[in-house]
Chains A and B, each alone.
Chain A
Amino acid sequence: MEAPSLRDIELALTLLWTRRSKRENFLAGETVQDGIHPSLVKHIDVRGVKLYASLIELGRLDLMASIYPHCKKILGKHFNATVHNYMETMPPAHFNLNQAASQFSQFLSEHQSTEAYRLKHPFLPELADYEWIELEAMESNSEVNVAAASSTADVQYLLSDLQVFAGSVPQLNPTLIARAYKYPIGEIVGKIEHDEKLPRRQKVQPSWVLALRSGDHEARYVDLSELAYILVQVIMANAAITYGELIALACSHSGAGAAETVADFLTMVEDFKEIAVIL
């Protein structure tokens, strides 16, 4: 048998440090395991395996707890095991540490080991996504051009000439992330933060949310109506769309009268400008 190569050694140790079942088998004295060169086993330092495994796990738990404090509260004593399963299933694939947490929502929504939590807390994958998008907006590499952001007074000026307004194009905040959730995630987060009891069975109740970073570098969430969410999606898909076209779209989607819809639309634009959804 060939002597183990550097790669054999790196792979074997990585398996023992990061895969609990492999480690347990190794510690139980099993000498033959997939991915571990057989001649290595007797040369591996048991104390070192345990110590590095523990350092890696602690680092991962710290990271996940800092990004997903609400999921941690919901999962309670199951949080650590869930994180370990997640990291084994979707190992970090990026040099940036925070990116190691990026697929947690997907894991919670797909992985068999989380089925029981999904049954009890069906909103859990959306909650994880909600927590993740705050970080994503916060760290987005896009510049929020503060100089381009107009004040409410500028909006009033724009609105004073409706022709000009209708032909102008809204510029969305480039850090913006829009989500349509099946559950009222913002409301659920509020309850978790105030230690309020969540309903035994959370009802489906759609909610629409934006996460963005404003010029002061603070990340924030914005709750939206369904129509506002649709309009944001349309702007995201078509950067050249004008306010006039958006008003027409709003009128076609809204059940209210045209005058009321236009008034609501203009209020929404003012609000969006004020909180830097539109720059």
Chain B
Amino acid sequence: MSSGFLTAKKQMPNLGVGLGLRRELAAETMVNKDAIDWLELVPENYMDLGGKTRQRLDDALEKFPLVTHGVNLSIGSTDELSQDYLSSISRLLNKIDAPWWSDHLCFTSIENSYLHDLLPLPLSAEALKHVVKRVKTAQHVVGRPFLLENISYYMEMPGDQMEEVDFLAQVLEKADCGLLLDVNNVYVNSVNHNFDPYRYLDRLPLERTVQIHVAGHSHGDELLIDTHGAPVIEPVFELLEYVLKRTDVKAIMLERDQNYPQFSEILAELAQIRDIVMRVRPSIAACA
């Protein structure tokens, strides 16, 4: 089957190894351009805002290629897609001229209320059809390639009819969109839900991966929690390497959102990612 997305992927730039643009890390991020190829930002923190926020965005735009990674498109919600949201993010994407945009395979709002958390969807045929339709609409309205990220999920939802990997794979294929593969989420889910992360990866249409997230997690009482607040562990780096050996991707990004360490530790993790890239798929970094 021909895929407009896979054709478009060939034209996407190789961004290299990047970091999240975070207020707490912004000053050090801006002066470490040698070690950081590009930045990812949470669009909801910048959409229609001025002042320091806009200044930070402008500073980042001057120095780095930028892409957005949203948290409130709410692609799985049974509410109408928010036209305000789509208009606002379109303005931001136009401003930064992002080569793609992304959000999570989840729902974050219902009855016009936002829960500000990434909430799992029932893995059902109804949800699949619903999400596919909305991804197509969102991608069409915004007019830029769209990626969906696999989330960490901490409960089985009522109504599940298939495994998460099959749900994700079918959404990607049927909606003809890209994958933002979070290898830490794969690891966290594999431990929490007792599956083999490598078999999971083998069942995904990895050729749709445009971007990879690498992050750390924390240990909750009974489950691993995707906090982005701890160092990346070796098995997560191993998953990254496994994916890179199997497919071409355009960008890899380190996520750190809390419990911030010395910036040197972040740079060390970026260097570790870059080592893997240079060893396994140097083309990603070559054009950055």
Contact = CB atoms under 8 A, between A and B. Distances in A.
Residue of B52, B82, B155 contacting most chain A CB atoms (<10 Å): B155
Interface stretch (A103-111, A136-144, A268-276): A136-144
Interface residues of A, number: 44
B213 interface: no
Interface stretch (B113-121, B203-211, B228-236): B113-121
Highest count of chain B CB atoms <10 Å: which of A6, A63, A100, A138? A6
Given A45-B155, A139-B53, 9 more contacts: A10-B107, A13-B157, A17-B115, A45-B157, A51-B155, A56-B115, A92-B113, A139-B50, A140-B51
A143 B110 CA distance: 33
B47 interface: yes
Interface stretch (B29-37, B124-132, B261-269): B124-132
B117 A10 contact: no
Nearest to B115: A56
Interface in B199-241: 220, 222-223
A95 B44 contact: yes
A142 B51 CA distance: 8
Interface in B162-206: none
Interface in A16-66: 17-18, 40, 43-45, 47-49, 51-52, 55-56, 59-60, 63
Given A45-B155, A51-B155, A217-B55, A142 B113 contact: no
Contacts of A45: 155-157
B113 A143 contact: no
A214 B153 CA distance: 43
Interface residues of B, number: 43
A17 B122 CA distance: 15
Top 8 nearest A-B pairs (CB, nearest first) are A48-B155, A43-B158, A91-B113, A95-B72, A7-B78, A45-B155, A217-B52, A92-B114
Nearest to B122: A9
B159 interface: yes
Given A138-B52, A139-B49, A141-B48, A48 B114 contact: no
Given A11-B110, A217-B55, A4 B77 contact: no
A9 to B, nearest CB: 5
Contacts of B130: 6
A5 B155 contact: no
A96 B116 CA distance: 9
B32 to A, nearest CB: 22
Contact of A140 (B50, B82, B158): B50
A59 B116 contact: yes
Interface in B69-124: 72, 76-78, 82, 84-85, 107, 109-117, 119, 121-122, 124
Given A9-B159, A45-B155, A52-B154, A95 B52 contact: no
Contact of B114 (A12, A100, A217): A100
Contacts of B49: 96, 139, 141
Contact of A52 (B76, B109, B124, B155): B155
Interface in B127-169: 127, 130, 154-159
B131 to A, nearest CB: 9
A63 B116 CA distance: 11
Contact of A93 (B50, B77, B113, B122): B113
